[in-house]
Amino acid sequence: MKVLLIGQPNVGKSTLLNALTGAKVIISNYPGTTVDVSEGTAVIDGERCLFIDTPGAYSLSPSSEEEKVTDRIILEGDYDIVVQVIDATSLERSLIMTLQLVELSVPLILALNFWEEAEKRGIFVDVSLLEKILGIPVVKINPVKRDIEKLKKRLKDARKSFYKFTYDDHIEMAISKVLNVIDYGGNLLRRGVAVKLLEGDPVAFELFGFSELEKIKESFREKHPDIERDIMITRAGYASLLAKNVERISRLYTKLSWLDKLIINNVSGGLIFTLLVFAGIFASLLYIGGGFQDFLNYYFGILLNSIEPWLQSQSYFVRLLLENSLIGLAAGISVAVPYIGIFYLLLALLEDSGVLARFIVILDKLMEKLGLSGKAVIPIMLGFGCTVPAIRATRILPNFRDRLKVAILYITVPCSSRSGIIFGVVGHYAGAAYAIGIYLAAFFIFIITAKIFNVVIPQEEHYLIEDLPPYRRPLVKNMVVKAWVRMKDFVYIVIPLLIVGGMAYGIVAYYNLVKPIVEPFRFLTVGWLHLPEETIIPLLYGFLQKDLVPAMLANALGTANFSDIMTKTQLFTFGLASTFQVPCIIAFGMLIKDFGIKRALLIEISTFFYGMLWAGLIMRLILLFSSI
Amino acid sequence: MAVKFISFLGIPKLMERRWKNILMEDILRLAKEKGASPTFKDVMEDSGVTREEVGEAVKELERKKLVKREGNNIVLTKEGEKTAEVIYNYHKTVEKLFGHKTAHSFEHMADKVKYLQMAKNSVSLANFVDGEEGVLISMQLKNPKIIARLIGIGLVPGTRFKIVKVRDDVLVLNISGRLVIVDKKLTKNLFGVKSLESSLDRST
Cβ of residue B144 closer than 8 Å to a chain A Cβ: yes
Query: Which among A133, A168, A264 has CB closest to B99?
Result: A168
Give, as one character, the DSSP assignment of residue B185.
G
Asked if A230 and B99 come within 8 Å (Cβ–Cβ), the reply is yes
Q: State the burial class of residue A563 (Cβ atoms within 10 Å of its Cβ: 0-12, 13-18, 19+).
A: middle
A593 to chain B, closest Cα gap in Å: 25
Chain A CB contacts of B203 below 8 Å = 255
Asked if A58 and B149 come within 8 Å (Cβ–Cβ), the reply is yes
Task: Give the pLDDT confidence of A541-581 residue by residue, as tens digits.
Answer: 788 777 778 777 877 777 777 888 888 889 999 999 988 87
Chain B CB contacts of A365 below 8 Å = 167-169
DSSP assignments along A358-396, one per residue: HHHHHHHHHHHHTT--GGGHHHHHHHTT-HHHHHHHGGG
Of A75-79, A159-163, A185-189, B83-87, minimum mean pLDDT range: B83-87
Best CATH choice for the domain B10-108 from the list 1.10.10.10, 3.40.50.300, 3.30.420.270, 1.10.1060.10: 1.10.10.10
Query: Which among B2, B169, B178 has CB closest to A244?
Result: B2
Cβ of residue B106 closer than 8 Å to a chain A Cβ: yes
Chain B CB contacts of A90 below 8 Å = 154, 175-178
Residues 6 or more apart in contact with residue A476 via CB below 8 angstroms: none
Chain A CB contacts of B187 below 8 Å = none
Asked if B154 and A467 come within 8 Å (Cβ–Cβ), the reply is yes
Residues 6 or more apart in contact with residue B60 via CB below 8 angstroms: B20, B24
pLDDT band for position A73 (50/70/90)? Answer: very high
What is residue B18's predicted lDDT score, i.e. its pLDDT?
56
What is residue B104's predicted lDDT score, i.e. its pLDDT?
53
Asked if A92 and B154 come within 8 Å (Cβ–Cβ), the reply is yes
What is residue B2's predicted lDDT score, i.e. its pLDDT?
30
B7 to chain A, closest Cα gap in Å: 11
| Percentage of residues in chain A having pLDDT higher than 90 | 19
Q: Are B179 and A121 in contact (CB under 8 A)?
A: no
Could you list the pLDDT tens digit for every one of the 204 residues in chain B?
233 233 333 333 334 445 667 777 778 888 887 778 888 888 887 776 778 888 888 888 888 888 888 888 888 888 888 777 777 766 666 666 555 555 555 544 444 555 555 666 778 999 999 889 888 877 888 777 788 888 888 887 778 899 988 888 788 898 877 889 898 889 998 988 887 654 444 333
Query: Which among A167, A232, A465 has CB closest to B153?
Result: A465
At A250, give phi and psi (nearest 5°).
Answer: -100, -15
Chain B CB contacts of A59 below 8 Å = 148, 151-152
Chain B CB contacts of A466 below 8 Å = 153, 180-181
For residue A328, give the nearest of A79, A97, A496 by alpha carbon: A496
Chain A CB contacts of B150 below 8 Å = 465
Q: Are A485 and A300 in contact (CB under 8 A)?
A: no
DSSP assignments along A88-100, one per residue: GGGHHHHHHHHHH
Query: Which among A133, A249, A250 has CB closest to B9?
Result: A133
Q: Best residue in B5, B8, B18, B178 to probe A by mutation, most A CBs within 10 Å?
A: B178
CATH class, range B120-194:
mainly beta
A–B interface: beta-carbon pairs under 8 A: 202
What is residue A393's predicted lDDT score, i.e. its pLDDT?
77
Task: Give the pLDDT confidence of A112-143 residue by residue, as tens digits.
Answer: 999 998 888 888 999 999 999 999 999 999 98
Asked if B177 and A123 come within 8 Å (Cβ–Cβ), the reply is yes
Per domain, the residue ranges of chain B are: 10-108, 120-194
Query: CATH number of the domain at A1-254, please?
Result: 3.40.50.300
The span from the CA of A197 to the CA of A211, in Å, is 12
Cβ of residue B185 closer than 8 Å to a chain A Cβ: yes
What is residue B204's predicted lDDT score, i.e. its pLDDT?
35
Q: Of the segments A313-322, A413-422, A601-610, B13-22, which one has the largest average pLDDT value?
A: A601-610
Chain B CB contacts of A244 below 8 Å = 2, 109
What is residue A157's predicted lDDT score, i.e. its pLDDT?
92
Chain B CB contacts of A267 below 8 Å = 167-168
Residues 6 or more apart in contact with residue B5 via CB below 8 angstroms: A245, B14, B15, B17, B18, B22, B108
Return the residue of A nearest to B105 by Cα: A241
A61 to chain B, closest Cα gap in Å: 6
Query: Which among B158, B199, B204 has CB closest to A240?
Result: B158
Query: Which among B133, B162, B168 has CB closest to A365?
Result: B168
User: Which contiguous run of DSSP H or E holds residue A26?
Assistant: strand A25-29
The span from the CA of B5 to the CA of B48, in Å, is 18
Chain A CB contacts of B133 below 8 Å = 253
Half-sphere exposure in the Cβ direction for A607 (13 Å, CA): 26
What is residue A189's predicted lDDT score, i.e. its pLDDT?
92
* Dihedral angle computed from the Cα positions of residues A610, A613, A617 and A618, in that order, rounded to the nearest 10 degrees: 50
What is the gyration radius of the CA atoms in chain A, in angstroms? 28
**Angle at which helices A549-557 and A495-510 pack, to 10 degrees?**
10
Asked if A168 and B186 come within 8 Å (Cβ–Cβ), the reply is no
Asked if B180 and A466 come within 8 Å (Cβ–Cβ), the reply is yes
- Residue scoring higher pLDDT (B204 or A270): A270
DSSP assignments along A521-581, one per residue: GHIIIIIIS---GGGHHHHHHTTT-GGGHHHHHHHHHT-S-GGGTS-HHHHHHHHHHHHTS
For residue A138, give the nearest of A246, A233, A34, A225 by alpha carbon: A246
Chain B CB contacts of A121 below 8 Å = 177
Q: Best residue in A235, A248, A396, A463 to probe B by mutation, most B CBs within 10 Å?
A: A463
DSSP assignments along A275-318, one per residue: HHHHHHHHHHIIIIIHHHHHHHHHHHHHHHHHHHHHHHTS-HHH
Asked if A168 and B101 come within 8 Å (Cβ–Cβ), the reply is yes
The span from the CA of A479 to the CA of A472, in Å, is 13
A261 to chain B, closest Cα gap in Å: 10
Q: What is the mean predicted confidence (pLDDT) over A296-313?
A: 82
Query: Which among A229, A253, A468 has CB closest to B180?
Result: A468
Chain A CB contacts of B164 below 8 Å = 256, 264-265
Cβ of residue B121 closer than 8 Å to a chain A Cβ: no
Chain A CB contacts of B176 below 8 Å = 89-90, 92, 123, 249, 252-253
Strand B178-183 with B190-194, pairing: unpaired
The span from the CA of A144 to the CA of A133, in Å, is 28
Chain B CB contacts of A62 below 8 Å = 148
Asked if A93 and B152 come within 8 Å (Cβ–Cβ), the reply is yes
Asked if A62 and B148 come within 8 Å (Cβ–Cβ), the reply is yes
Per domain, the residue ranges of chain A are: 1-254, 267-627
Of A406-420, A611-625, B105-119, B125-139, minimum mean pLDDT range: B105-119
